Structure 1
Amino acid sequence: MNVLCLLPAADYDPTEAATSWHALTRAGHAVSFATPGGQPAHADLRLTDTGFGLFNAIFMTRRPDLDLYRQMAASPAFRAPLSYAQVNPADSGALLIPGGHAAGMRSMLESADAQAICTHFFTAGKPVAAVCHGVLLPARSIDPATGRSVLHGRRTTALPATLELGAWALTAAWLGRYYRTYPQTVQAEVTAALARPGDFDAGPLLPVRDSAENHGAGFIVRDGRYLSARWPGDCHRFAAAFVEMVAEAG
């Protein structure tokens, strides 16, 4: 099956894209990419190269996941993405929406073309997987039959406010609003798009990072053919669950 991965012009989280890319390609699926202008989209440089000084151990991308990102970025499909406007969503059987928090993410989250692509996958009943800020895209994608978000009536998670505000508080003195993509938290906006506030599940209060060897530490929410996760620390479990979901869809 071909899985479409939507990326912004820049600034996405490398773990959130590359772990699923790696799991999908290992399982024999093709992954194609689309960006706003059809140019290769590289991840947030602070997460891959620049770093966070004393906070590197907390916020930097883990080395094994960074290695997966480098492999993904060298792949022919990554180097030749479509633009959002060129995408025919009928050509793909599933959709992957990574997140990220730096300003470049807005080029995907605020794109009417990206929202229309997302709506197609939901209304067609195809598998969709979104993580962290990526969940804002389906939250903003409107089902024309109902006039409501495609997440209305579904259960989901996304970046919890505790993680978003905590990261901002630790780094605001020198990074300003780097961790605040929008004035409203991701959790608040996503919850407002749901049928009931209880349909948002923030997961355990103290999240623990998973790994390729230990998926159990990750947290995911699956509702039918829709899968969501909170942050990079969930992404190995998220990737494995997405591969299973794609396989079930045939």
Structure 2
Amino acid sequence: MIPLPRRDFDPSEVAVPWQMLRAAGMHVVFATPDGAAASADDLMLTGEGLDPWGWIPGLKKIRLLGLSLRANADARAAYQKLLAAPEFRAPQSYALMLANGMQGIDGVLFPGGHRARGMREYLESAQVQQLAVAAFAAARPVAAICHGVLVLARSRNPGTGHSVLHGRRTTALTWALEKKAWDATRWFGRFWDPAYYRTYPDGEKQPAGFMSVQAEVTRALARPEDFCDVTDAAPQGFRKRSGLFRDRIDDDRAAWVVRDGNYVSARWPGDVHAFTKAFIAMLTSS
């Protein structure tokens, strides 16, 4: 099962896992708030509107920054196939999936996205958080990437009051990657919408990055060191850290994935192939 917001999910983090799961012989069920088909963040598909002239209708198709930040060709191709998939066009509702429990569900994948207009509803949804609690309680394999990890950080075990991630190791969108994209768009691109890459901007008296994904996820963990970023000793450290490289189906050098038991997490679309491979490995061995 892949729960989605009504709109503005990251196309790479949904279409690529869907395609890889299908290729592995698995059936994917999507869930949305009302059982209507969801839509991806159009800026991440086209790249239009991310450059400083992107607010001008006649010039928005001229893309420089937009081409580097949007989904890559593989992800865009996967998304076009996803749009025609019956399971995507006719998802289940959150309520129906909750009523069914985890019956027939072998694992749950929580994708991300950052555009506030659509993602906040998803990140703050009590029903999505209940799906996360149910998946962990049933010991199903769980995967989360980017802002999807924030859903888990906010999902509280009713018995303990702790996040379902309390006591686990995880990664998520790091503050370094979030800030790089935010700085690029607010200073060199989408200046009229400077918070585009900050789903939750910091408050006036909060330190920089307090409302970043990494900071909020870390506050939900048992220990700060349970948040796992790329280490100095990691091979291909620059490739993994810089945000300039993405993994491919046949090349995991840029990826950073953290697995803890039946839970796997990743940072951003650049990890999506390695992330999905790890999730498939959990599903096939469980």
- TM bucket normalised to smaller: over 0.9
What residue in structure 2 maps to residue 84 of structure 1? 94
What residue in structure 2 maps to residue 199 of structure 1? 226
What residue in structure 1 maps to residue 83 of structure 2? 73
Give SS of 1:139's match. helix
* Alignment TM-score, normalising by the size of structure 1: 0.95
Distance 2:4 2:283 in 1: 19
**Residue 114 (structure 2) aligned to one of 101, 119, 123:** 101
AA paired with 1:59? L
Deviation at 1:57, TM superposition (A): 3.2
What residue in structure 1 maps to residue 150 of structure 2? 136
Distance 1:21 1:216 in 2: 22
AA paired with 2:23? R
Deviations 1:51-88 (A, max 9, x none): 33321232011011111111112100000011111112
Deviation at 1:212, TM superposition (A): 1.7
Q: Would you say the 8 A contact 1:164–1:179 is kept in 2?
A: yes
Q: Does residue 16 of the first structure (1) align with residue 13 of the second (2)?
A: yes
What residue in structure 1 maps to residue 199 of structure 2? 181
Distance 2:66 2:184 in 1: 12
Q: Would you say the 8 A contact 2:47–2:67 is kept in 1?
A: no
Gaps of 5+ in 1: none
Deviation at 1:175, TM superposition (A): 2.8
Distance 2:137 2:6 in 1: 26
Deviation at 1:19, TM superposition (A): 1.2
Distance 2:261 2:147 in 1: 21
Distance 1:62 1:121 in 2: 31
AA paired with 2:125? S
AA paired with 1:113? Q
What residue in structure 1 maps to residue 33 of structure 2? 36
Q: Would you say the 8 A contact 1:36–1:107 is kept in 2?
A: no
Larger Rg: 2
RMSD: 1.2
AA paired with 2:242? L
Deviations 1:128-175 (A, max 9, x none): 000000100110001112110000000000000011111111112233
Deviation at 1:216, TM superposition (A): 2.9
Runs of 4+ in structure 1 displaced over 4 angstroms?
Answer: none
Gaps of 5+ in 2: 51-62, 202-210, 231-236
Q: Would you say the 8 A contact 2:7–2:40 is kept in 1?
A: yes
What residue in structure 2 maps to residue 237 of structure 1? 274
Deviation at 1:50, TM superposition (A): 4.6
What residue in structure 1 maps to residue 251 of structure 2? 214
Give SS of 2:28's match. strand
Percent identity reads 48
Q: Which moved more, 1:212-221 or 1:75-84?
A: 212-221
Hey, which of these two has a bigger chunk of helix by percent? 1
AA paired with 1:49? T
Distance 2:164 2:19 in 1: 27
Distance 2:161 2:149 in 1: 18
Deviations 1:1-56 (A, max 9, x none): xxx00101110111111111111111111000001121111110001125333212
